[in-house]
Structure 1
Amino acid sequence: MKKLGRMLVRLMIVAALAVTLGALVPRPLLQTAGDQPANPRHILVLRNPIHTDIAIPVDDAVLRRFHFLLDAGMPTDMAGVRYIVFGWGGRAFYLETPTWSQLKAVPVMKALTLDTSVMHVDIAGDIAEPRPDVASFDIGEDGFAALLDFIAVSFQRGEGGPVVIENAAYSRYDRFFEAKGHFNALVGCNTWTAAALRTAGLRTGWWNPLPVSLGLSMRLYN
């Protein structure tokens, strides 16, 4: 038992070091300072203790780009909608854990090992800033377009476009869609968020499996 305990302690130390170094080593490693964008687009990163989402400001072009959300029953054109919120994650955990009180062992094990992925899409009105769980970034038009492309190609597509998952939603305002890629403890929702932000021209840590490490790296390098 003592040997097993020492092994677990070593593993925890190695994991803590990996997360710390993953946040402190920037990606890309070198980046020249660019000019401030003339017409910045204001995006938000929303976080809870284990998950991050990206909130995209709504305009006519964004609504046209993601028109399939309206077709899937999301009221994206409703008055008062200011953001469309995108998040990528493990299918079992996402679909079977709408609240912490409904946490179950099987979805957790799948999230830690290997699971298929889904895209969760929600809408939001005005989001108060600043807040500890909200980070904001201004990016240029080229970065914004690249970010929309990254999000769009994360959806798995069928003959009619992105594939909505029937009878899977937390409320009448959100939907789940089939997504590309597989989810595990090393490549999860927060590494997806980090990759999306890098596509937009921002810098993240080299490996950000947790919201706290992603948030730290974003504050350090942007």
Structure 2
Amino acid sequence: MKRIFRRLLAAVLLVAFAVAAGTFIPRPLLAPSRAAEETGQRRILVLSNPIHTDIAIPLSKDTRAAFAFLGRAGVPVTDPRAEWLVIGWGGRAFYLETPTWGDLKPLPVFRALTIDRSVMHVDVAGGIDENHPTVMPFDLGATEFQRLSDFIQTSFVRQADEVAVVPDAAYGDSDRFFEAHGYFNAFAGCNTWTAAALRAAGLRTGLWNPLPQTLTLSLKLFN
């Protein structure tokens, strides 16, 4: 029993060390040079809950056009009441089968802790309170914003030049799920995808951010 306890304690300490190092070691190590035009060009939002993060990008004439492929798939990107496009990446089983905590089931949790296919979840939103503690705003220059948009768009699986919709999968009337590139697991999950997208936009994150709390802390520290 003592040997088992020591091994369990060592494993817990190793994970704690990895999470701490992943939070407090920046990625990239050196701050990238930002475009001189960056200030106030485009504001994006990072939205978080206890286990997941999304990226919200503003819906304007050009972004509605750039993401028109989502409109053809049923996401109302042209609705004048829609101000934000909210996008996240995650594990197929957990994402699709757990719209609320009350829907939590053992199999999706098991798939999330091992390995699963990935999906994109897309929705629209009206006004979002940027002062809410679960919302982090960032201003990007035109070049950085385009890189973020490109990263997001290339995360979708396409078939015959259209994104692949997951049939009969949605939480409500305005959202849709789509097939995505990559595989989900506990070490490379939804928050590591968000971090990678933000790095593509020139922001710095922690070295490894599997949790929303570590990602948001690293964003505060390094940006």
Q: TM-score range by the shorter chain?
A: over 0.9
Q: How many angstroms does 1:4 deviate by?
A: 2.2
Across the aligned residues of Structure 1 and Structure 2, the Cα RMSD in angstroms comes to 1.3
Q: Does the 8 Å contact 2:155/2:180 carry over to 1?
A: yes
Contact 2:191/2:211, CA 8 A, preserved across alignment: yes
Cα deviations by residue, 1:118-159 (Å, 9 ceiling, x for unpaired)? 000010011002111100100100000000000000000111
Please tell me the residue identity of whatever aligns with 1:31.
A
Which residues of structure 1 form unaligned runs of 5+? none
- Where does residue 29 of structure 2 map in the other structure? 29
Percent sequence identity over aligned pairs: 55
Equivalent residue of 2:144, what SS?
helix
**For the residues of structure 2 that align with 1:40 and 1:68, how far apart are their CA atoms?**
24
Alignment of 1:115-126 (within 5 A): 115-126=116-127
Larger CA deviation: 89-98 vs 32-41: 32-41
Once residues 122 and 40 of structure 1 are traced to their aligned partners in structure 2, the CA distance between those partners, rounded to angstroms, is 23
Please say which of residues 71-80 and 190-199 is displaced more in the overlay: 71-80
* The 10-residue stretch of structure 1 (207-216 or 5-14) with the greater mean CA deviation from structure 2: 5-14
- Which amino acid in 1 is paired with 2:101? W
Q: Distance in 2 between matches of 1:8 and 1:172?
A: 46
Report the 3-state secondary structure (helix = DSSP H, G, I; strand = E; otherwise coil) of the residue aligned with 1:29.
coil
Question: 1:162·1:178 contact (CA, 8 Å) conserved in 2?
Answer: yes
Once the 2 structures are TM-superposed, how far is the Cα of residue 9 of structure 1 from its aligned partner?
2.0
**Alignment check: 8 A CA contact 1:205 1:218 kept:** yes
What displacement does 1:61 show?
Answer: 1.2
For 2:142 and 2:29, the matched residues in 1 are separated by 23
Q: Unpaired segments of 5 or more residues in structure 2? A: none
Query: After TM superposition, where is structure 1 displaced by more than 3 Å over at least 4 residues in a row?
Result: 32-36
The aligned residue for residue 186 of structure 2 is 185
TM-score, scaled relative to structure 1 = 0.96
Q: Give the drift of 1:13.
A: 1.3
- Given that 1:83 and 1:123 are in contact with CA atoms closer than 8 Å, whether structure 2 keeps it comes out as yes
Amino acid aligned to 2:127: D
Mapped partners of 1:39, 1:190: distance in 2:
25
Residue in 1 that maps onto 2:19: 19
Instruction: In structure 2, give the amino acid aligned to 1:10.
Output: A
Counterpart contact for 1:39–1:141, Cα < 8 Å: no
Count of residues in correspondence between the two structures: 222
Counterpart-to-counterpart distance in 2, 1:129 and 1:216: 17
Tell me what 1:65 maps to: 66
